[in-house]
Amino acid sequence: MSIGVATKTRAASVSSTLKVSSPLGILRITHRQGYIVALDIQTVSGQSSVPASDPFAKRIVTALQHYFSNPRSPLRLPLVLDGTEFQQRVWSALQAIPVGQTRSYGELARQLGSSARAVGNACRRNPVAVIVPCHRVIAAHGLGGYAGKTSGRRLQIKRWLLQHEGIELA
């Protein structure tokens, strides 16, 4: 896995965008001031390279390499997630789901005093898929969706992540 960096300025803070190759495709990761703010799974292939001068980028790549080699390796990376108070609660609950386990949208809804649809919407808006493991949330009777999709490449990614973590799918 390797990365390439593009730097851009936003409102007096510098953001860097890494492109990390992975078994899922290219992961486009935006980080700012030592915090990851976004991770998007690109469904197209692309180039990647490792910048010698960015120690935080190297830390991100190392953590992801360990996870993709061994799903029990924790993805403990500093995050700043922009979302509503409810979304923050859902994303926190997602991080508490252990590797190799799932929860249903309904279970999380009961835990948070909400509805399954609201939990699903918060999962869909998760800005750092894989790191905040929304893939571990499934429907009561089936896989459910991933990144707002219920079929196609996104659902294949969810299935791959669950199988990678040792979760048997029907």
Q: Are the C-beta atoms of 35 and 20 separated by less than 8 Å?
A: no
13: domain CATH number is: 3.30.160
68 phi, psi to nearest 5 deg: -70, -20
Residue 5 has pLDDT above 50, yes or no: no
Among candidate residues 119, 160, 156, the one with its CA nearest the CA of residue 140:
119
pTM over cut 0.95: no
Q: Is residue 127 part of a domain?
A: yes
- Predicted confidence at residue 169, as pLDDT, reads 81
Tokens coding 56: 């935080």
Residue 2 has pLDDT above 60, yes or no: no
Based on the domain organization, do 65 and 89 belong to the same domain? no
Which uninterrupted H or E stretch holds 39?
A: strand 35-42
Active-site annotation holds for 123: no
Based on the domain organization, do 98 and 132 belong to the same domain? yes
Q: Are the C-beta atoms of 25 and 41 separated by less than 8 Å?
A: yes
Q: Residue 90's CB: how many other CB atoms inside 10 A?
A: 28
Final residue before a domain boundary, out of 69, 94, 117: 69
Based on the domain organization, do 156 and 109 belong to the same domain? yes
Cα 94 versus chain centre, distance:
10
> Which one of the listed residues 90, 134, 161, 162 is annotated catalytic?
134
Q: Is residue 23 part of a domain?
A: yes
- Predicted confidence at residue 8, as pLDDT, reads 36
46 pLDDT tier (thresholds 50, 70, 90):
low
Residue 120 has pLDDT above 90, yes or no: yes
Residue 3 has pLDDT above 60, yes or no: no
Number of domains in the chain: 2
Based on the domain organization, do 114 and 155 belong to the same domain? yes
Q: Is residue 21 part of a domain?
A: yes
Contacts of 35 (CB under 8 A, 6+ apart): 78, 79, 80
Q: Which residues share a beta bridge with 27? A: 20, 41
157: domain CATH number is: 1.10.10.10
Final residue before a domain boundary, out of 41, 69, 97: 69
The predicted-structure confidence for 54-110, as pLDDT tens digits, reads as follows 899 999 999 999 999 999 998 999 999 999 999 999 999 999 999 999 999 999 999
